[in-house]
Amino acid sequence: MTKMIKNKIMSIEYSERKAFWYLALLAAAFSGFYIYFVNGAIINVVERQKTEKEIISVNSRISDLESSYFSLNGKINLDYAYSLGFVKAGKEKYVYRKSLSANLSLNHVR
């Protein structure tokens, strides 16, 4: 049986054999591209799942930190500050500086 197939293949003309090998090569190339892109898609899906799990973990941590913040924020008041040794400031003094932009102008020509 295989000898008969081999004889039939050999009897095909050169141009037809050439066309057959080009088509076989094209099919192999498309198969390779298909495998490459499917593999890339699978890797992207796995990475997305890992990222989603990490996002869930980070969101949980943020929620815990927010609840800690709100519970600690309720404890801070003026009496608590005094107990830590803070004192009320005396008269407030402010320092200011006159702006120099009024003296510098490109509109004034001498």
> What is the number of other CB atoms lying within 10 angstroms of the CB of residue 17?
13
Does some domain include residue 21?
A: yes
Does some domain include residue 110?
A: no
Average pLDDT, the chain: 85
Q: What is the mean pLDDT of residues 95-100?
A: 74
Supply the range of the domain harboring residue 42.
Answer: 2-80
Does some domain include residue 57?
A: yes
pLDDT digits (tens, 9 = 90+) for 80-91: 889 999 988 888
Does some domain include residue 91?
A: no
Query: What DSSP line would sit under 41-70, residue for residue?
Result: HHHHHHHHHHHHHHHHHHHHHHHHHHHHHH
What pTM did the predictor assign? 0.49
Does some domain include residue 75?
A: yes
Residue 108 has pLDDT above 90, yes or no: no
Q: How many Å apart are CA 110 and CA 105, to the nearest integer?
A: 11
Share of the chain above pLDDT 90, in %: 46
Does some domain include residue 34?
A: yes
Q: How confident is the model at residue 107 (pLDDT cuts 50, 70, 90)?
A: low
Report the domain count for the chain: 1
Does some domain include residue 29?
A: yes
For residues 20 and 12, the answer to whether their CB atoms sit within 8 Å is yes
Does some domain include residue 89?
A: no
Residue 20 has pLDDT above 70, yes or no: yes
Distances (CA, A) of 27 to 11, 17, 38, 40, 52: 23, 15, 16, 20, 37
